[in-house]
Amino acid sequence: MFFAKMRADLRSIRERDPAARSSAEIFFLYSGFHAVLYYRASHRLLKMHLKGLARWVSQLGRFFTGIEIHPGAEIGRGLFIDHGMGVVIGETCVIGDGVTIYQGVTLGGTGKHAGKRHPTIGNGVVIGAGAKVLGPFTVGDGAKIAAGAVVLDEIPAGATAVGVPARVVRINGERVDARASELDQIHIPDPVAQELCRLRVRIEALEKTLGDKTDTEVDNI
């Protein structure tokens, strides 16, 4: 099982990273792949009730890769952590198959309560650089979370979420830009920027109205 998952992880990186030239390069040089190997070893130890040793292995992985994955997390096949520095995956997090995570992502909790407190990530989800997914909710299959988004509520399958706090701006059934379907982290609409643009247009209209009124008063003097 361990080696089958390792082969699936290697294959998923080859398929999704255009910079990957060979499986040997991934095996020896990709810190994201190494972090998953450390996780799988620590998770296996945890299942054997060797909790202290499991934590030691996970902290060793954190030291060498800059990626912290709690051994209690449940991670499926084909996880691709691209670049990966600063990624944190919490204890009760559940991650499906074929998930892509970029650097600086946190899959964390929002409190100190016991039980399920970290998110469940569906199959094929893509999480952009610096995104924070916080809480015991589900991100549906095929969802995309833009860079820098802060997700505090459930995201439906096939949706694209952006902003702080994150809002769903695309979902199955609506038109999806081809670049957005690949998680273009630049050309995704920003609801905050759109609101600022509307405010600017409104201010310009008010300034023009005030300017016209002032010109009329001067002409009457």
Q: Tens of pLDDT along 99-149?
A: 999 999 999 988 777 789 999 999 999 999 999 999 999 999 999 999 999
Sign of the torsion angle spanned by Cα atoms 204, 186, 134, 85: negative
Burial state string for 56-89 with b = 16 or more CB within 10 A and e = fewer than 16: ebbeebbeebbbbbbbbbebbbbbbbbbbeebbb
Output 190-193 pairs: Cβ under 8 A, ≥24 positions apart: 190/162, 190/163, 191/162, 191/163, 191/167, 192/163, 192/164
Torsion sign (Cα): 118, 133, 174, 195 = positive
Give pLDDT tens digits for 174-212: 654 544 445 555 555 566 677 787 888 888 888 888 877
Query: What value does the mean pLDDT take over residues 40-54?
Result: 95
- Side by side, which strands form the sheet with 167-170? 80-81, 100-101, 126-127, 144-145, 160-162, 167-170
pLDDT surpasses 70 at 221: no
pLDDT at 217: 61
Nearest to 41 by CA among 58, 63, 64: 58
Q: For a pLDDT cut of 70, what percent of the chain falls above it?
A: 86
Question: At residue 9, what is the residue type?
Answer: D
Closest CA to 100 of 134, 119, 128: 128
pLDDT tier for residue 216 given thresholds of 50, 70 and 90:
low
CATH number for the domain running over 2-184: 2.160.10.10
* pLDDT value for 151: 94
